[in-house]
Amino acid sequence: MLRSTLNDALKTAMREKDQQRLSTVRLILAALKDRDIAARGEGQDQLGEDAILEMLQKMVRQRRDSIELYEKAGRTELADREKAEVAVIEAFLPQQMDEEATKAAVIEVIAEVEAASIKDMGKVMAVLKDRYAGQMDFGKASGVVKAELV
């Protein structure tokens, strides 16, 4: 479903001559194609929805890191371009969980897997990734898990 949404977005951007959106969607589709090729080497046909959502989240994180660096260097034009790309990519992601919802989900999973120490963090994160792919920022979630397990 997400693949068809991306392809439709590409066609719409072409029709509307929206260069920023067009170039960003092309970047997403190129990254998706690269990952599909890598998946074929591992015996899979193509990436599933969860893996695509994870890829999109990673693209957003990379751009946010770039924005921070560009702003520190005084390159506002490059930071603005990255911000525009983030906005386009986030349009394909489901609504992200806020801090309270993330904390509640982490506490629920910790209780569910009976995690007792930081050694159980991998189990907790695996369940969170399975259950909340595309909805949760796992970088922030890992901080919450560490705080809860210490």
pLDDT digits (tens, 9 = 90+) for 3-41: 999 999 999 999 999 999 999 999 999 999 999 999 888
Residues of the chain with CATH 1.10.10.410: 99-149
Structure tokens at 56: 């999109």
99-149 domain in CATH 1.10.10.410?
A: yes
Return the CATH fold of 2-90.
Answer: Hypothetical Protein Yqey; Chain: A; domain1 (1.10.1510)
**Confidence at residue 6, expressed as pLDDT on a 0 to 100 scale:** 95
Q: Which residue has the tokens 């080497």?
A: 41
Q: Which helix (H) or strand (E) holds 15?
A: helix 2-16
DSSP 55-115: HHHHHHHHHHHHHHHHHHTT-HHHHHHHHHHHHHHHTTSPPPP-HHHHHHHHHHHHHHHT-
- pTM as predicted: 0.74
pLDDT tens by residue, 37-74: 998 888 888 888 888 888 998 999 899 999 999 999 99
